[in-house]
Each structure stands twice: as structure tokens, then as C-alpha cells.
């Protein structure tokens, strides 16, 4: 079997870009599905509005970070396929390792995001967090006066 490093690198990083893009596309679809479920839950129980707004903001913040990392991963992975034809020496190897690390990190964060949005106690934990924050505001006000 012949060792074909340039072809392997081309395949690896172009496939990584495609896989990450598809994976995050599925995450976006899942995020939309979760939002629709929250809307239905709010329609059934109006007392959940504030809690779900906090949850939506948490989801959006994490998804925005994930989309930025995904865009960066895709562009950098494709740049590795382009730059692979050039002899960059040790810097080329360092660049490939950094981009590969970013790709792995992006996938790790995507999996972490899925676990975050699907956590069964998300509603209870957010409600408890909101209650604790409210308690802290009242305690600070009482101490000031």
C-alpha cells in the first residue's frame, strides 16, 4: 500500500468541513424543534414564560458561539486542503494540527450543546437559578436599607 499523505490530508480536511457543517445543521434543526416545544408548553402553561425566555437566551448564546466556531472550522479546514500543495515545512504541520484540534473541539462543543438542550432537568435547574438570583437581589436590598 502506497502512502499518499497529500491525498489523505485533502480527504481528511475536506470531509471534516463537510461533516462539521452537516452536524451543526442538525443542531440548528434540533434547536428549532426544542423552541417549538417550548412555545407549545408556554401556550399550555403561561407561568413558564419567564423560565423559557432564560432558557432560550442560554441556548442562543451557546448556539451563536458554536456557529462562529463552526464557520471558523470549515474555513480553516478548507484552507488546509488548499495549502497542502505548498511545502510549508514544520509550520504546515503545526497549522494542520491546530486546525484538526479546532475541528475536534467544535464537535466536542456541539455534543455538549446537544446534552445541554436535552437535559431532563433543564426547566427545574433554570427555575431554581432564577429563584436564587431573585433571593440575592432581595437580600442585597435588605442589607442596603
| pLDDT for residue 36 | 85
Q: How confident is the model at residue 102 (pLDDT cuts 50, 70, 90)?
A: very high
- Enter the pTM of the model: 0.72
pLDDT at 98: 94
The answer to which of 19-23, 44-48, 125-129, 139-143 has the lowest mean pLDDT is 139-143
pLDDT at 143 over 70: no
Q: What is the pLDDT of residue 1?
A: 44
pLDDT score at 6: 65
Given this model, what pLDDT does residue 2 score? 52
134 pLDDT more than 50: yes
**Which cell is 79 given?**
484552507
Asked if 71 and 24 count as a contact pair (C-beta separation under 8 A), the reply is no
Contacts of 36 (CB under 8 A, 6+ apart): none
**Segment (H or E) for 75:** helix 49-83
Amino acid at each position: 500500500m502506497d502512502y499518499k499523505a497529500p491525498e489523505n490530508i485533502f480527504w481528511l480536511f475536506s470531509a471534516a468541513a463537510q461533516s462539521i457543517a452537516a452536524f451543526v445543521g442538525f443542531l440548528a434543526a434540533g434547536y428549532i424543534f426544542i423552541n417549538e416545544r417550548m412555545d407549545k408548553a408556554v401556550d399550555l402553561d403561561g407561568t413558564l414564560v419567564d423560565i423559557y425566555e432564560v432558557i432560550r437566551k442560554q441556548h442562543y448564546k451557546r448556539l451563536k458561539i458554536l456557529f462562529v466556531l463552526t464557520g471558523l472550522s470549515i474555513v480553516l479546514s478548507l484552507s488546509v486542503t488548499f495549502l497542502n500543495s505548498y511545502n510549508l515545512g514544520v509550520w504546515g504541520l503545526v497549522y494542520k494540527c491546530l486546525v484538526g484540534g479546532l475541528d475536534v473541539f467544535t464537535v466536542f462543543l456541539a455534543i455538549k450543546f446537544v446534552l445541554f438542550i436535552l437535559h431532563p432537568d433543564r426547566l427545574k435547574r433554570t427555575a431554581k437559578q432564577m429563584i436564587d438570583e431573585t433571593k440575592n437581589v432581595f437580600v442585597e436590598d435588605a442589607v442596603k436599607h
